[in-house]
Amino acid sequence: MREKSPPPPPSVLIAGDRVQARIHELAAAIERDYAGSDLLIAIGVLKGSVFFLVELLKHVRSVPVAVDFFQTSSYRGGTSPGEVRIRKDVDLSIRGHDVLLVEDIVDTGYTLRTILDLLRFRGARSVKLCALLDKVETRKVEVPIDYKGFEIADVFVVGYGLDYEERYRNLPYIGVLEGGAADPGAGAEDG
Ligand code: IMP
Ligand code: MG
């Protein structure tokens, strides 16, 4: 079999130890704010939020936590930008509970806007958003981020759960692909 040289690793935008330190700070703020809550339901959006969610929740120890997931897809560049489909709904009943939505990145904001509205409609006692990354410049709809890791410029990033064509999610840092990477495009499955 012919050997193929692997592509160069993505360059570092935010080093792993900085990401971890920031996640620990976010966890501390969450523990403070939810002290006394009987149950905090943390909801991740598959698949991108998984690495961040796990690291975050390992450090939320003083609050009882349940975990659930959504999976969405959107039609970026299609005829209806911002149209978000729920591919997998949560299993838990959220009525009357505190809900913390956990996302890897807020880009246009369409995904989070849709999910936040849905959670409120279903009668959660409170709904807050925790996002590792915030691409401020590309926002199309307003989404308040209660717990934010880092603001970044409009670059395509990978690592810490974020992928390019399903690769690089397990990178232990936030990286940028050399030469840049195209948007996955219309009809893409998010996550
Ligand atoms: P939205 O545009 O805010 O609805 O974000 C939808 C999804 O696009 C995010 O949850 C990510 O999965 C994905 N996404 C947005 N920007 C990036 C990026 O820079 N790298 C990898 N995925 C991204
Ligand atoms: Mg995602």
Distance 44 CA to ligand 2 centre (A): 9
Q: Mark residue 180 as left, alpha or beta (left: phi above 0; alpha: psi -120 to 50; beta: remaining).
A: left
Residue with CA at minimum distance from ligand 1 atom 7: 190
| Pocket lining: 175 vs ligand 1, CB cutoff 6 Å | no
CA 109 to CA 140: how far, in whole Å? 6
- pLDDT tens digits, residue range 89-129? 999 999 999 999 999 999 999 989 999 999 999 999 999 99
* pLDDT, tens digit (0-9, with 9 covering 90-100), for 125-165: 999 999 999 999 999 999 999 999 999 999 999 999 999 99
Length of the chain in terms of residues written: 191
Concatenate the DSSP letters of all residues of 66-132 into one string: EEEEEEEEE-TTSSSTT-EEEEE--SS--TTSEEEEEEEEESSSHHHHHHHHHHHHTT-SEEEEEEE
**Nearest ligand to residue 164 Cα:** 1
Does ligand 1 come within 6 angstroms of the Cβ of 157? yes
Q: Pick the atom of ligand 1 nearest to 45's CA.
A: 10
37 close to 98: Cβ distance less than 8 angstroms? yes
Atom 5 (ligand 1): residue with closest C-alpha? 107
**Residue 4 confidence (pLDDT):** 75
pTM: 0.90
134 is catalytic: no
The single residue of 68, 89, 104, 107 carrying the catalytic annotation is 107
DSSP state at residue 50: H
Cα gap 110→54, rounded to integer Å: 24
Instruction: Write the pLDDT tens digit of every residue in 16-54.
Output: 999 999 999 999 999 999 999 999 999 999 999 999 999
